[in-house]
Structure 1
Amino acid sequence: MGPRSGQGQREQSSRRGRGIQRGREPGRGNKQRRHPERGMRPSRPRATKVIIEPHRHPGVFVARGKEDYLVTKNLVPGESVYGEKRISVETEGKTVEYRVWNPFRSKLAAGILGGLDEIYIYPGSRVLYLGAASGTSVSHVADVVGPEGLVYAVEFSHRSGRDLLHMAQKRTNVIPIIEDARHPQKYRMLVGMVDTVFADVAQPDQARIIALNAHTFLKNSGGIVISIKANCIDSTVDAATVFAREVKKLQEEKIKPQEQLTLEPYEVATLFCIKYNLYASRGITV
């Protein structure tokens, strides 16, 4: 009789304890819980504030928060091109969306982060992009030049060209051209005079390809940005020898590189930047 009575009291006490637990309102009064080892911890996570700052290159921005990102203002809000992260920021009562520009997937982004003095691409400019591939970098260039600018995107591969065409359906400042950049006369009727030529063709004769397009489409005092992968041109010699040869070929075409930048750790390529002189390229002294 005694043990049963004690057991009943314990069961009643246990049930009463469970009832109190069920009746509690967790988080009431927005109280914080104390962890025995870690101390105070907040009851809910806090959102990280992101601040957008203009980069020294017009049309390019830096998103500063828990991590810093190179970003461009999304020309088509709500849409991503290659699964890139998007950041929305409230500015003067309006929501502005930015796209993270991944330097591991864009040589131009890698060059900007590496400290290029000049990229010759800015809001309102017209760019001839040789070697557009599926349009990853082109989409960010389209963001930079904005609705007042134009990007003529030339790609020879029909497979990559399909993705490029799909991207250009929503970014109407991109004109996709599925053609061989070795023959600029084939798309001469589609391309006007441009402010910049960006070349990422990765071909042994790329110096000739760039010269043909620059002499055909580039305005005087325009800019040329060239990406060179040494092993795509000649894998039998060291990279320094390849670069020296390519610079000599460009100089023979009256195109003189002014800036050279390696893209490591993002890429194994090197960027060359050139201020183009139309008259010098034609042997005219002014």
Structure 2
Amino acid sequence: MLNITKIREGLYGIGGGIATKNLVPRVKVYNERIVKQGGVEYRIWNPFRSKLAAALKNGLKTFPFTENTKVLYLGASTGTTVSHLSDIIVNGEIYAVEISHQAMRSLLRVAEQRENIIPIHGDARKPQEYEEVGKVDVIYQDVAQPDQDEILIANARMFLKKDGIAMIAIKSQSIDVTLKPKEVFDRVIKKLEQHFEVLEKIKLEPFDKDHLFAVLRFKG
């Protein structure tokens, strides 16, 4: 029998890994490993497939997700990380924005079985296109674009509650390949500090190269 420990709300430690309780038993999202014990099914959260899982493995302390959290997720892709948040936010809502037609098809399949995921086929640069989302508790952003800082600021102004939490995976190579990653990170953080209090900064190696995961509190 495996030793399963509760790390925090909705998160479990299993054999050195991180897991969430499967909201849709017997259904995998990205061929993740499933562990069954005591009548409960757990999905192992792969840090090589999810930047949030990588940040958790590297010591992330701030985890603002509860069963009732309302989240705006920018850059939802095919739904890997979104699905694990869906396991945690069982009574909340995840507004998952994705611009790619191909990724959206996969995301829609995930959302069909998870009522707390609301997929939005849209451009995170144009938050006015999904203004019906309203105010949220958390913005999570994984958008590999040169203006990813501006994207977060614009969405926070429209949607994030005062003192709400923003999480952003900063990919240096998507912003400026001519600069060292640290120079890019410092520049982006300096700009974000005009609107947010920086709570945590975590590098994502060995799971993702040249990425910095930042946790921010919105000044409003």
CA distance in 2: counterparts of 1:152 and 1:235, whole angstroms:
31
Give the number of the structure whose alpha-carbon radius of gyration is greater.
Answer: 1
Q: Is residue 2:218 matched to residue 1:267?
A: no
> Residue 57 of structure 2 corresponds to which residue in structure 1?
113
Q: 2:80 aligns with which of 120, 136, 139?
A: 136
TM-score (norm 1): 0.75
Partner of 1:195: 137
Pairing of 1:20-99 with structure 2 (within 5 A)? 49-56=1-8, 58-64=9-15, 68-90=16-38, 95-99=39-43
Q: Please identify, of 133-142 and 269-278, the stretch whose mean Cα deviation from structure 2 is larger.
A: 269-278
Q: CA RMSD in A?
A: 1.1
Q: Is the 8 A contact 1:74 1:143 kept in 2?
A: yes
Report how far residue 135 of structure 1 moved: 0.5
Matched, 1:175 2:114: no
Provide structure 2 residue ranges, at least 5 long, that are not aligned to the other structure.
none
Partner letter of residue 30 of structure 2? Y
Q: Once the two structures are superposed, what CA deviation does each residue of 1:109-132 show, in whole Å capped at 9, x if it has no partner?
A: 010111111032222111111000
**Contact 1:70–1:100 at 8 Å: present in 2 too?**
yes
Structure 1 residue 192 displacement after superposition: 2.7
Gapped regions of structure 1 (runs ≥ 5): 1-48, 279-286
Structure 1 residue 69: deviation in Å? 2.0
- One-letter amino acid matched to 1:60: L
Answer whether contact 1:71 1:98 (CA < 8 A) is retained: yes
Offset at residue 232 of structure 1 (A): 0.9
Q: How many percent identity over aligned positions?
A: 44
Pick the structure with more helix per residue. 1
How far apart in 1 are the matches of 2:193 and 2:202?
Answer: 18
**Aligned partner of 1:215: which letter?**
R
Contact 1:198 1:224 in 2 (8 A): yes
Aligned residue type for 1:175 = I
Contact 1:247 1:256 in 2 (8 A): no
Deviations along 1:225-265, whole A, 9 cap, x unmatched? 1101101110011011101110122123x223221110111
Q: Is the CA contact 1:197–1:214 (under 8 Å) kept in the aligned structure 2?
A: yes
Distance (Å, rounded) in 2 between the aligned partners of 1:119 and 1:199:
14
- Length-normalised TM-score, structure 2: 0.96
**Does the CA-based 8 Å contact 1:134-1:164 persist in structure 2?**
yes
Distance 1:150 1:97 in 2: 22
Q: Does the 8 Å contact 1:120/1:222 carry over to 2?
A: no
Q: Distance in 2 between matches of 1:117 and 1:275?
A: 14
Q: Deviations over 1:75-123 (max 9, x none)?
A: 0001000111111111xxxx11110000000000010111111032222
Query: What is the number of equivalent residue pairs in this alignment?
Result: 219
Partner amino acid for 2:200? E
Q: Moved runs in structure 1, 4+ residues, more than 4 A?
A: none
In 2: Cα distance, 1:119 partner to 1:206 partner: 22
Amino acid paired to 2:147: D
